[in-house]
Amino acid sequence: MNSATIWILVPIFVGGVFFVLQRFEKALVLAGTGLVVLLALMAWFLPIGEALPFLPSITIQDTLFVLGRQFILSDTDRPYLFLIYLMVAIWLGGSAAARSGKYLVPVGLIVSGLLTAALAVEPTLYAALLIEMAALVSIPVLAPPGRPASRGVLRFITFQTLGMPFILLSGWLLPGVVSDPPSQPVMTAIVLLLLGFALLMAIFPFHSWLISLAGEVNPYSAAFIFFLILSTVSIFGVDFINRLEWLRGFAPLYSILRLLGILMIFTGGLWAAFQRHLGRMLGYAMLVIVGSSLLASSLGAPVADLGANASAIASPATGLFFAFFLPNGLALATWALSLSIFRNQTENLTYRSVQGLAYTLPVASAGLLAAHFSLASLPLLAGFPLYSAMFSSLSHSAPSAVFLAMLGVGGLLAGALRTLAVLITSPNESPAWSMTETRLQAILIVAAIILLFVMGLFPQLYLPLLSELIP
Amino acid sequence: MLEIDWLPLMGVLLVIASSFTLLINPAWQTSLVALSIQYLGVFILVSNVLPLGIAAVKLVAGWMAGIVLAMSISGLLRRVAVLPDGSAIPRDSLGQSDSLAGSPGWQTRSGCAFRLLTGLLVGMAGLSLAPQLTVWVPKLSNEQAWGSVILLGVGLLQLGFTIQPLRTILGLLTFLAGFEIIYATAEPSALVAGLLAVINLGLALAGAYLLMVDALEESA
């Protein structure tokens, strides 16, 4: 048995089979969610490269050879696998409630397999090809049949396809060892690398596709594909930096990441504060999530930046980067699910259309607001402990950056307050309360709200686990 | 006496002619023929750095991408040529519609002239940058550098001119073809060639799907 077979080939194969069985939509949601939960549990419990505790005759091998290259998923990758498949399980579990179409489960499984392959492939630069494949496979989810293809989908394919060559070329150009200061070809390779990641992750100024996508297509599908690709590309990026020792100790790279992170949080939050379309508001929140990921990864800067030994890495701060995944993923899924419920009942997601919806969709409105407030770092919710830890870490090295980042988060908070005001302001003088969500939708959203509060009130339950993901 | 290797030069000429045809010509049939000629040029340019079998993979994948797009468009034209009320639309007018031709203004003479001029500008800028590319990628010959920068530049230009699925996919395929020439000299691996071929086909399939998506049966 082989780890790549279990966590790469099985989801891709099952996803392919599910494409044929689309008519059994509800059964596919159950089976698909069950499979990814099983894969997450296997990643948690089964050791790789050692005999299985209950079946000593069986060992899961860590390497699969394909055309002279390797796909390696070793024991140290198990936390990544657990995290990725846990998040996919959360999203697939909510897909029936979000009515996001019959393609989400099969595509979700294939995309998860391809993105896991991207993390496993050796040499690592081939990952860019697999990420591009995952983006192409996700098209049917973003452009469901029966409606014309939106501009956002075309921009999504364009930016993902343009990003791939930059990463491939930079991976080829970047040497294992460099002189200090780095030569011009090395600096060119670093610029190409940053451009590649900026195109893939919707980093400023290449973020237009994300806003366009969030505003035009089903919010649940858009958020799912975006979050899955963002998570994998971020892990791939951190892994890429960690593999090249000189790059890991290259202080200017962290300064650039910090600058981009702050810029994205600030601009995303600022635009969110003035936005009047809930889908696009979700897009701006996603920009803030990308910004916070960049900012958290910049906190793993060489300690030389703080005046100590250049080769040491501030691991606890880098751990924060991984700690963001689960709370942000849960908040985004809750927000997107609530928006999908809104979208099924209104013409569009402009403020004018959703005015007073809290009276007919109270649970979805509560879910949307809880998720929005959590991403805006409101105390008691899941985002707060992480943002406060990040700002506290950052305040030692760049206090002015903290101010700008807090302004951005404040903008997101202002957007949440405006949305609250719109949702509870009914056009009727005496609106009647009713609950039009289905039972499944209500149960999922209430569970998510409770989880957001539990994660905010008891961060010590899960943060040590996530922050230990750093290799 | 100076010996000139005519084959790579022919590859460059094919690439220039086909990419400019893709940029200027609004007819989808001509564009798809130009796409297949473009891949012939790419094949000639990479055949001296890659084993013939792997170079042929690029040619076959490119041609298959063209066939996928052609089949999708002809299927689309068959579907929409007859309206639900039984009346028929002339096929020529459908084939020249904005969704296949590019964007509003794509078919006008002034639009063609403008695209030709900008293409020439980008081409000249690319040719002046080509020697620098051979410094970064030492195994790259001058002809390969010329061919690749022309394709990269014209591909990006096409992407900038349109918001329609067919032209966007053709622009992306052109851009990727330019990149493939550079990367073939840098990393002549079978797996990379295979994955890039899959991506070319995937782009064509995505384009075919996006062209037909509104005519397909609505999901649940």
- Rounded CA-CA distance A470/A293 in Å is 14
A443, A360: one domain? yes
In a domain, A104, yes or no: yes
Contacts of B219 in chain A (CB under 8 A): 101-103, 144-146
**Residue B189 touches chain A, beta carbons under 8 Å:** yes
Per DSSP bridges, beta strands A121-122 and A63-66 are unpaired
Contacts of A165 in chain B (CB under 8 A): 175-176, 179, 183
Distance (Å) from the alpha carbon of B141 to chain A's nearest alpha carbon: 17
Amino acid at B40: L
Distances (CA, A) of A443 to A354, A438, A456: 22, 9, 20
In a domain, A352, yes or no: yes
Domain boundary among A241, A260, A275: A241
Count the neighbouring beta carbons within 10 Å of the beta carbon of residue B139. 12
- Rounded CA-CA distance A8/A232 in Å is 14
| Chain B CA closest to residue A121 | B191
Task: Share the mean pLDDT of chain A.
Answer: 84
Task: Decide: A96 and A337 in contact? Cβ < 8 Å.
Answer: no
Mutual angle of helices A325-345 and A439-457, in 10-degree steps = 150
In a domain, A128, yes or no: no
| Chain A CA closest to residue B173 | A161
A158 vs B168: CB contact, 8 Å cut-off?
yes
A323, A469: one domain? yes
A148 vs B213: CB contact, 8 Å cut-off?
yes
* Between residues B148 and A124, the one the model is more confident about: B148
The pLDDT of residue A30 is above 70: yes
Q: 3-class SS at B14?
A: helix
Distances (CA, A) of A230 to A196, A234, A291, A367: 13, 6, 11, 23
In a domain, A327, yes or no: yes
Q: How far apart are the first and last CA of chain B?
A: 72
Distance (Å) from the alpha carbon of B138 to chain A's nearest alpha carbon: 11
* ω into A205 cis (within 30 of 0): yes
- Picking from A145, A169, A172, the nearest residue to B217 by CB comes out as A145
Provide the whole-model pTM: 0.87
Mean pLDDT across A385-399: 84
Secondary structure of chain A as H, E, C letters:
CEHHHHHHHHHHHHHHHHHHCCCCHHHHHHHHHHHHHHHHHHHHHCCCCCECCCCCCCECECEEEECCEEEECCHHHHHHHHHHHHHHHHHHHCHHHHCCCCCHHHHHHHHHHHHHHHHHEECHHHHHHHHHHHHHHCHHHHCCCCCCCCHHHHHHHHHHHHHHHHHHHHHHHCCCCCCCCCCHHHHHHHHHHHHHHHHHCCCCCCCHHHHHHHHHCCHHHHHHHHHHHHHHHHHHHHHHHHHCHHHHCCHHHHHHHHHHHHHHHHHHHHHHHHCCEHHHHHHHHHHHHHHHHHHHHHCCCEHHHHCCCCCCECHHHHHHHHHCHHHHHHHHHHHHHHHHHHHHHCCCCEHHHHCCHHHCCHHHHHHHHHHHHHHCCCCCCCHHHHHHHHHHHHHHHCHHHHHHHHHHHHHHHHHHHHHHHHHHCCCCCCCCCCCCCCHHHHHHHHHHHHHHHHHHHCHHHCHHHHHCCCC
* CA B42 to chain centroid: 11
Distances (CA, A) of A9 to A2, A17, A107, A108: 10, 12, 14, 14
Residue B86: its pLDDT value, please?
Answer: 59
No. of H helices and E strands in chain B?
Answer: 9, 0
| Chain B CA closest to residue A66 | B191
A339, A464: one domain? yes
A173 vs B159: CB contact, 8 Å cut-off?
no
A293, A313: one domain? yes
Distances (CA, A) of A159 to A111, A252, A402, B62, B200: 18, 26, 30, 21, 15
Count the neighbouring beta carbons within 10 Å of the beta carbon of residue B173. 26
In chain A, what percentage of residues exceed pLDDT 90? 27
A218, A339: one domain? no
**Residue B161 touches chain A, beta carbons under 8 Å:** no
In a domain, A137, yes or no: no
In a domain, A138, yes or no: no
The pLDDT of residue A302 is above 60: no
| Chain A CA closest to residue B179 | A165
- Picking from A99, A133, A188, the nearest residue to B198 by CB comes out as A133
Distances (CA, A) of A205 to A152, A198, A209, A263, B176: 16, 8, 10, 10, 22
A173 vs B175: CB contact, 8 Å cut-off?
no
Mean pLDDT across A125-143: 89
Mean pLDDT across A230-255: 81
Residues 6+ apart with CB under 8 A from B20: B116, B119, B123, B154
The DSSP symbol for B151 reads H
Distance (Å) from the alpha carbon of B8 to chain A's nearest alpha carbon: 23
**Residue B187 touches chain A, beta carbons under 8 Å:** yes
Among B residues 91-150, those touching chain A with beta carbons less than 8 Å apart: 136
Q: How many residues does chain B have?
A: 220
Amino acid at A56: P
Residues A313-342 as b/e (b if ≥16 CB within 10 A, e otherwise) read: bbeebbbbbbbbbbbbbbbbbbbbbbbbbb
A147 vs B214: CB contact, 8 Å cut-off?
yes
Full pLDDT tens readout for chain B, 220 residues: 556 678 888 888 999 999 999 888 888 888 899 999 999 999 999 888 888 888 899 999 999 999 999 988 888 777 766 655 656 555 555 555 555 655 666 677 888 888 889 989 988 888 888 888 888 888 888 888 999 999 999 999 998 888 888 889 999 999 999 999 999 888 877 888 888 999 999 999 999 998 888 777 654 4
Task: Decide: A202 and A158 in contact? Cβ < 8 Å.
Answer: no
A61, A160: one domain? no
- Picking from B179, B192, B217, the nearest residue to A126 by CB comes out as B192
Q: Which of A26-40, A84-98, A166-180, A242-256 has the lowest mean pLDDT?
A: A166-180
Distance (Å) from the alpha carbon of B11 to chain A's nearest alpha carbon: 22
A143 vs B195: CB contact, 8 Å cut-off?
no
| Chain A CA closest to residue B213 | A145
A23, A166: one domain? no
Q: How many domains does chain A have?
A: 3
Q: Domain locations in chain B?
A: 6-219
Domain boundary among A221, A241, A261: A241
The pLDDT of residue A470 is above 80: no
Q: Which of A7-11, A312-316, B72-76 has the lowest mean pLDDT?
A: A312-316
- Picking from A145, A158, A173, the nearest residue to B172 by CB comes out as A158
Residue A45 belongs to domain spanning: 1-122
B202 vs A145: CB contact, 8 Å cut-off?
no
Q: What is the pLDDT of residues A335-389, one digit of tens each?
A: 999 999 998 888 788 888 888 888 888 999 999 999 999 999 899 998 898 888 8
**Residue B197 touches chain A, beta carbons under 8 Å:** no
A139 vs B210: CB contact, 8 Å cut-off?
yes
A186, A69: one domain? no
A357, A403: one domain? yes
B216 vs A145: CB contact, 8 Å cut-off?
yes
- Rounded CA-CA distance A88/B92 in Å is 47
A260, A177: one domain? no
Mean pLDDT across A167-186: 73
The pLDDT of residue A170 is above 60: yes
Residue A312: its pLDDT value, please?
Answer: 37
B183 vs A165: CB contact, 8 Å cut-off?
yes
Residue A323: its pLDDT value, please?
Answer: 79
Q: What is the pLDDT of residues A90-122, one digit of tens each?
A: 888 888 888 877 888 999 999 999 999 988 888
Distance (Å) from the alpha carbon of A429 to chain B's nearest alpha carbon: 36
A320, A447: one domain? yes
**Residue B213 touches chain A, beta carbons under 8 Å:** yes
Domain boundary among A122, A141, A171: A122
In a domain, A268, yes or no: yes
Mutual angle of helices A127-137 and A219-243, in 10-degree steps = 180
